[in-house]
Structure 1
Amino acid sequence: MIPIICIILASIFILKIDAPRLLKAKMHKEFKVLIFLLSISFSMVIARGILQDVPNPLNGIAFLLRPLTDILVQILR
């Protein structure tokens, strides 16, 4: 539980430092990227803390591309 609280506090700290500077400079695209990347990393860390077993994204990509690979191999033979 303590690591999750530390991650929440670290995320809030990062937002308190970077968000006002980006918004003041009217860097809205950069702000959106910051929020997106921070939310992805926050979600992954929380999932890792709760589930203890986060699936590898490359396995999902391989699962999606396997049929395409099989089709291409058959065409090229």
Structure 2
Amino acid sequence: MREAVRLEVDGQVFEVLEVARGVWNYAWVNGPDPEYGFRLAGAEDSVPTRPEHEESIRAFLAEIDPRTGYLADRAD
């Protein structure tokens, strides 16, 4: 496993960590909840590039309700 890397994407800070082979955890450091973020799984033998990580983060942020800071299903 690798060490966590901090990425800033569109003003939002994420700590990205490979938690198992091909499984990446994205912790939203400056989000509404320090435990909030998302996880993605891919091929065990591939390592996403920085632009691919940024694309995943942007896709996540696009689903966030700006009023609540959470995904729509958590907005209630």
Q: Calculate the TM-score normalised by the size of structure 2.
A: 0.29
The answer to which structure has the higher strand fraction is 2
Q: Calculate the TM-score normalised by the size of structure 1.
A: 0.29
Instruction: Select the structure with the greater relative contact order (CA < 8 A; seq sep ≥ 6).
Output: 1
The answer to which structure has the higher helix fraction is 1
